Structures are given as C-alpha cells and as structure tokens.
Amino acid sequence: MQLYYFPNTIAVAVAIALEEAGLEYEHVRVDFKDAAQTQPPYLDINPKGRVPSLVVDGQILTETGAILDYIAAMSPAADLAPSDPLEAAHMRAVMYYLASTMHINHAHKMRGHRWATQQSSFDDMAAKVPETMRQSATYVEEHCLRGTFVLGARISVADAYVFAICNWLEGDGVPIAEFPKIAAFWDAMTARASVKAVQDKGLLRL
C-alpha cells in the first residue's frame, strides 16, 4: 500500500489507523508547497487534488472516512470498528461530522478560494475560523467522545480522525486545554505507539 500525504493534513488519520492495524505501507509525500497536489502526476492518482489517497494493489482509494472503513475491514484482529450496529453508527456519525463540518470550518482559514473570489471574502472566512472551530470542538466534547475515546474505553478508526483534526485546534485559536474531554483524549492518543510512529515517519508534527 502507498499512502499519499502532506504532513499535518487529514492524511495523518489514515497513517495512525494503518499503524493501529499493523498494516505495512509506504508513505509518499505530496508537496503542497509546490502545489504538487494540483498537477500531474498526482492528479492521475486523485483527480480531486487532495490527500489522503491510498493505493492498494493498483486500486486507488480516496476520502478519509472510506479509507478508514477499509483499514478496519482489512484488519479485524485490530478491532478498530465495532460490530454492534448502534456503536458503528455513532462511530461513522462522528467521522461524517468531521468531514462535512469541522474540516470545512478549518479549511475556511486557508482555502477560501474554494467558495469565493474576493479577498474580502477570504478575510471574513478566515476571521470566523476560531468561532466555528470552537463550536465544533464543543460538539466533539459534548457529543462525540463517550469516554476517553469515541466509543468510550476502546479505540476505533474514528479516534484517528478526531485526533488529526484536533491537531489543528491550537493553530485555529482554540486551546485544547479549555476542553477537558478533548484534553484527556489528546493525552491518551499522543501516548499511543501508533501516533509516535507517525511522528517518527515525519507525517505528524505536534
């Protein structure tokens, strides 16, 4: 497997899940500084021009939640997704919220061109990021974490997703220390061997 990434992007979630699953992978950097994600040959891999992309036996997987579901399905011994339908629905609801709302809130800081054309619009969107990310952090605190992790005491692929996005909070003007459950989650995740391995490989900077 080849994981296409740029450091501290949402691709971190996939890397952590791969480590948790014990699956071997090659990490391939897509240099955002040179806008490599918008140019061939990367567009031949992912025409959306985004990371992560996971290449598995020549087949290309995109979208973080879908890749995380694949990893969980391919590593049942790691127990990264619950068999109980209600718990599974909660896990996926968290991932869908992160993809549809919290990630978008963060993207308004640097990716305003996706939604507008005027610099004044970019500035307005960026100025609102601390407010919207705080709202999202509050939602994660009150409705997503059912204990130390999304599913309580056990880890799932959703926790890798939450961790990757919570890594952006401080930079978005939202101190993690103001959210006790997120702070406890953060401490538990940074102590895990999977997160340390992703750091050592250069995909994650804390």
Beta carbons of 64 and 99 less than 8 angstroms apart: yes
For residues 14 and 61, give the distance between their C-alpha atoms in angstroms, rounded to a whole number: 11
pLDDT in tens, 65-76: 999 999 999 999
- Give the contacts of 191 (CB within 8 A, at least 6 positions apart): none
Structural domain of residue 44, as residue ranges? Answer: 2-78
Assess if residue 31 is contained within a domain: yes
| Torsion sign, CA atoms 5, 6, 10, 16 | positive
Q: What is the CATH number of the domain that holds 115?
A: 1.20.1050.10
**pTM (2 d.p.):** 0.96
What is the pLDDT averaged over residues 49-67?
97
Assess if residue 116 is contained within a domain: yes
Strand order in the sheet with 59-62: 26-29, 2-5, 53-56, 59-62
Single out the residue in 29, 54, 78 at which a domain terminates: 78
pLDDT in tens, 160-196: 999 999 999 999 999 999 999 999 999 999 999 999 9
For residues 83 and 119, give the distance between their C-alpha atoms in angstroms, rounded to a whole number: 48
3-state SS, residue 134? helix
For residues 53 and 185, give the distance between their C-alpha atoms in angstroms, rounded to a whole number: 26
Both 95 and 181 in one domain: the answer is yes
Beta carbons of 165 and 159 less than 8 angstroms apart: no
What is the pLDDT averaged over residues 133-149?
98
Residue 197 pLDDT greater than 90, yes or no: yes
